[in-house]
Amino acid sequence: MKLFVPGRLCLFGEHSDWAGRYRAMNFQIEKGRTIVVGINQGIYADVKPHPTHLIIKTTLNNESLMQSFQLHKDQKKLLAEARRGGVFSYVAGVAYQIIKNYSVGGLEIDNYFTDLPIKKGLSSSAAICVLVARAFNLLYDLKLNMRDEMELAYQGEVTTPSSCGRMDQACAYGQQPIMMIFDGEKMDIIKLNSPKKDLFFVIVDLGEGKNTQEILTRLNKCYTEELNQISENVQHYLGVINADITQQAALALQKGDAEKIGSLMVKAQTEFDKYMIPACPSQLTSPVLHSLLNYSRLQEYIWGGKGVGSQGDGTAQFIAKDEKSQKQLIEIVNHDFPKMQCLKLLVKA
């Protein structure tokens, strides 16, 4: 069968998914809240069962070079491959979790097309994990619901060296906008109504590098080490401030109020810069991101913009005033910033 799993965009609430897990140790920490929507780009694959092996062929980011991987479905071999890291570790990690818990054969995946940018805060790794979980589920009739697929995808990804939170697997919901609430190990998902008006977003790959592992390591220390002013500020932003912004954003999204969403993006970025940058200035100062967000030629076409994912100089998002403005915004970025790449996102009414 053919499968498609999109990437996902965290409109609001990045980092609060893993931060909310610390409530399991300290209930004074605020719940994490995110608003997530699937994007147009993703991972396409033909999948079929295989009696003994996990086999994957993949072409990443439209490159002509085909990579392939084959491994017997032995649990120890899959676990070793998952822990090794790298592009195939995610597939092996999910397969390990499935085979450990269910009586199934192997799987053959032909990932014949991918138009999802890799390592840009759009959950490319979670998308492949969800795709593997869904393939096992459908091919072997495991009767798993979407939450089950998300859980297996999450457990598979954290079997690898990745330190993702539970938000990433929201790509399982496709382009349905959702709010996710993280309370220790508990996760609630609230499906949001479609907006009353179409919303036009632009996602911009900044064409620069960032060290997500360093960002996550530094920010997690704000929850695991002795409190100081920096760590208190991080917890304040990811807690009280984030809760207020995401709840306002959920209402604005459902109303189709693009202007309000834009103002909340600007507020979220301003507060992020104030409270979060000092925890990891080498990565979060992000001069390229800020130069684009403040670029004068874009302002008449947008209601607002902010960083994406772990932030840093990885990806930016804007909400355009309308479809014509979305097109003009993309043309300006393509002309004035040739290293950057734009993706259109329409959240339909």
**188-247 pLDDT per residue, tens:** 999 999 899 999 999 999 988 888 889 999 999 999 998 999 999 999 999 999 999 999
What is the tens place of the pLDDT at every residue in 248-297? 999 999 999 999 999 999 999 999 999 999 999 999 999 999 999 999 99
- Per-residue pLDDT tens over the stretch 81-96: 999 988 789 999 999 9
Q: Do 183 and 228 belong to one domain? A: no
**What CATH number did the domain enclosing 144 receive?**
3.30.230.10
- Indicate if 168 and 289 belong to the same structural domain: no
63 pLDDT band, cuts 50/70/90, is low
Same domain flag for 184 and 216 = no
Residue 7 pLDDT > 90, yes or no? no
Residue in this structure with the two tokens 């399991």, named with its chain if needed: 24
Indicate whether 109 and 254 sit together in one domain: no
pLDDT-above-70 percentage for the chain:
96
Q: Which three-class secondary structure state does DSSP give residue 194?
A: coil
Domain boundary pick from 191, 211, 237: 191
Check whether 57 has a pLDDT greater than 80. Answer: yes
Number of domains in the chain: 2
- For residues 257 and 138, membership in a common domain is answered with no
Specify whether 259 is located in the same domain as 126: no
pLDDT confidence of residue 249:
97
Please identify, among 191, 216, 245, the residue that sits at the C-terminal boundary of a domain.
191
Residue that is last in its domain, among 157, 191, 225: 191
Q: Please check the confidence at residue 170 and state whether its pLDDT lies above 60.
A: yes
pLDDT score of 171: 85
Q: What is the domain range of residue 60?
A: 2-191
255 and 142 in a common domain: no
Extended beta strands in the chain, E state: 2-12, 32-50, 53-58, 67-72, 106-114, 178-183, 186-191, 199-205, 302-307, 315-320, 341-347
C-beta neighbour count of 29 within 10 angstroms = 19
